Amino acid sequence: MTQSWVLGAALLIALFQLPGQNPPWTPNPGAAQSPPQEPEHRFPVDNPQQAQKPPKPKIDFAQVKRDAEELAKLAGEIPSAVEMTNKGVLPKDLNDRLKRIEKLSKQLRRELFN
């Protein structure tokens, strides 16, 4: 009987500790609250200011101009080739020209905008 009484008393003491010994469950409304701290940045991608962007490659404007002129020349030849297909004649190199136009346009876009 004394063992159960001692165990019960210890349990009650553990459950009902003095209020000054435990931190409050809710913040004290009268106390000033500290501003929230910024999270710790461990990786460069976590902090955009630390992230290093690769340097932009130099644009070779002479090459860009040559590619643009070739693209314009090839694009100018396409309507006549399409007109020939309406007559039933398919130029051999039409597919190659269209692929070259696509390649040049992608290359120009990459050079100028990336």
Give the pTM: 0.51
pLDDT tens digits, one per residue of 26-84:
656 566 666 667 666 566 666 666 566 667 778 889 999 999 999 999 999 999 999 99
Question: How far apart (Å, rounded) are the C-alpha atoms in residues 67 and 53?
Answer: 28
Q: How far is CA 17 from CA 3, 9, 26, 28, in A?
A: 21, 12, 17, 19
Residues in CB range of 105: below 8 A, 6 or more apart: 71
